[in-house]
Chains A and B, each alone.
Chain A
Amino acid sequence: MASSAKPSSVANSGASVGGKSIAANLLDVAIGRFQWPQGALLYFLPPERELLPDRAIRLSFQAYLKFSGLAYEDVCALNADYMSPSGQSPFLVLQFGTRPIIFSNFFQLVSFIEAQKLGLGQDLDKKEKSEHEAYISLIKMSLLSAMEYDAWISKASRQETLSSYSHGLPWPLKHLVPYSQYYKYRWNHWGLYKRDEASVLSEFNDACNALSVHLGGSRSFYQSGPTALDALMCGCVEAILNSSSQKLKSILSSYDNLVDFCHSSVLSQRKGLQFISSPSTANLSSNQ
């Protein structure tokens, strides 16, 4: 794990996703053929503070970069969400000289890497490409939404979420920050907040069923090998199975092929991929 990151340069970077377009930034920093830069850094929150959807996305980031053979280093930072320009953890920083490019969104990273022809979806035909995008949307709209609902909206787990989100924060921030984040989330996701748990779980079940049918008995979703869909699915399954959310876990566990897919077939292809469980304090301190 690297500890040489400069939070200020990352947080104040003008090259964020929401600002100037990524393509324009790339043109500024890299003329000619795109090459993956040395020292790419993946920032994320420590596991004690990391919520279920954040963990799923972080695992997806790690799996996708590992599958694609793109080198990066993990940086576990207590204030990763404040360092991110979008306020979301995890995020990936690519250093091009003095100007970093930041991806705080998994889907944007995938489309960028695929556009640079560095990704895994190069061997898919037209129909498969369109299908691939559709299944990624299904995970985004159903699985990730259900995880967010479980983390922030479900009454059963809200208190646990607030207490884990306050982990490591000094007084009085540990009382203020989780609630401010909760109300911010509630305001921004009013549609999800108004939905009832049964409909969210039913949608989650339907999505798992569709993904299970699509996967069948294969080791990956497409014959040509692992893709962004495999990475995303792997991240989501891994996060849910290791979470405390009993409802999501029990639904997912009933789809044996999805669980096996994550545990056996993909594990063999991601040798060396570390799912962080207990980061060292040395990595935390340098970024606070």
Chain B
Amino acid sequence: MASFGVGSEEIRSKMTLYVFTGNEYSASVDPESLQILTYLRLTLQKEEENEEIEIKYTCKHWESPTGVFPTLVSDGLYYTGVDSIIKELKKQGLDLDADCSDEELAEISAYSAFLSDRLKKALLYLHWVEAKNYTEVTRGWLSGATVFPFTLYILSRQHRLAKQVIMTSSSGNTSNNTSTIEQCGIELLSQAEEAISLLAGRLGDQKYFYGSSLSSFDVLVFGYLDLIAQYELPGNNQLGTRLKSLVQLTNFCSDIREKAYPEIKSRHVSTSSSMSPSSPLRKDPTFWIFVGVAGILLIAQGMRVGLTRKLLK
């Protein structure tokens, strides 16, 4: 169902895509950003060079025009959310579902909501709330992508937002006792586990969800499952264990990963991943700005207490 052959004569407007940063094992560590990147990789695969879409990898939400990831800017308009970005990409001729029937498109729409309802919240809990995973894996993702004061700010913001989403989406109480967030997490994880089993049942023995050809359904599922398969979490790894037991789904993930990201290593990461190769710490100008500000403050403090004067004497 892939429609790779986008005519060169077709005029496509200049687009900019803002996605959450990745590392050497994943193009992005945010499932929705990964879905859009994979969609682009699979639709643009046969084109020689794509100059119409500029992709900006960042973890600083203030660099995205809408403050959320992923965001697509096309013709001066902003598109957020996977469904609306894919809709816009289809308008621009990047259609992976060209051969899908209306019934299949309706099903894709339903599964998109299903994945976002069941797996997105569970991954938010596993990556941003579960204490051990958050400390040992998630913090490592950001430490390489940005510098010290921003790291703390972004981490705490994401942690707070994830907690808020989890607490409000839970079916039960929203009282602020300490055990509630764990209870919500357990509930979300069991729902996610059930969702993975249902997806395995839907995939059956097929290569992709609609037989042998790729569709946006495969991309949506891949975005979540690849992040579960790639990282062996040191804390709660309930979903990883469940996914491993489903061979057909694991093969499905490996197959799409090889197709979309042949250059990315496929391996499990059990501890903090190293910094993103695309954003080395020392090359970031903001790092040197902070070093300069810290130096000036140090000298100013020295002058205030008279240390510098004494040294000069």
Contact = CB atoms under 8 A, between A and B. Distances in A.
A154 interface: no
B197 to A, nearest CB: 9
A135 interface: yes
A133 B198 contact: yes
B118 to A, nearest CB: 7
Contact of A138 (B81, B113, B170, B204): B113
A104 B172 contact: yes
Nearest to A190: B164
Contacts, number: 99
A85 B170 CA distance: 13
B109 A188 contact: no
A187 to B, nearest CB: 8
A126 B167 CA distance: 31
A131 B114 CA distance: 9
A188 B110 contact: no
Interface string B3-25: 00000000000000000000000
B107 A18 contact: no
A199 B84 contact: yes
A129 interface: yes
Given A129-B198, A133-B198, A134-B107, A140 B174 contact: no
Interface residues of A, number: 38
A71 interface: no
Contacts of A210: 105-107, 109-110
Interface of B: 81, 83-84, 102-103, 105-107, 109-111, 113-114, 116-118, 164-165, 167-168, 170-175, 180, 183, 195, 198-199, 201-202, 204
Contacts of A97: none
A130 B198 CA distance: 5
A14 to B, nearest CB: 11
A86 B201 contact: no
Interface string A130-145: 1101110110111000
B114 A134 contact: yes
Contact of B110 (A86, A127, A134, A202): A134
A130 B202 contact: yes
A188 B199 contact: no
A175 interface: no
A85 B195 CA distance: 27
Given A131-B110, A191-B165, A199-B84, A17 B117 contact: no
B173 A137 contact: no
A18 B106 contact: no
Contacts of B109: 138, 206-207, 209-210
A214 interface: yes
Nearest to B173: A18
B47 to A, nearest CB: 28
A105 interface: yes
A86 B174 contact: yes
Given A188-B174, A213-B102, A137 B113 contact: yes
A19 interface: yes
Interface in A235-273: none
**Best-surrounded residue of A18, A135, A142, A214 (most CB of chain B within 10 A):** A18
A117 interface: no
Interface in A131-187: 131, 133-135, 137-138, 140-142
B116 to A, nearest CB: 6
Which 9 pairs from chain A and chain B are nearest by CB?
A18-B172, A18-B173, A210-B106, A105-B171, A17-B172, A130-B198, A134-B114, A137-B114, A134-B110
B84 A140 contact: no
Given A210-B106, A214-B103, A134 B180 contact: no
A73 interface: no
Nearest to B180: A18
A22 to B, nearest CB: 10
A190 B6 CA distance: 39
**Best-surrounded residue of B170, B171, B201 (most CB of chain A within 10 A):** B171
Interface in A12-43: 16-19
A225 interface: no
A140 B180 contact: no
Nearest to A102: B172
A202 B106 CA distance: 15
A108 interface: yes
Nearest to A145: B113
Contacts of B116: 137, 141
B136 to A, nearest CB: 28
Contacts of A133: 114, 195, 198
A203 interface: yes
Nearest to B84: A199
A135 B168 CA distance: 21
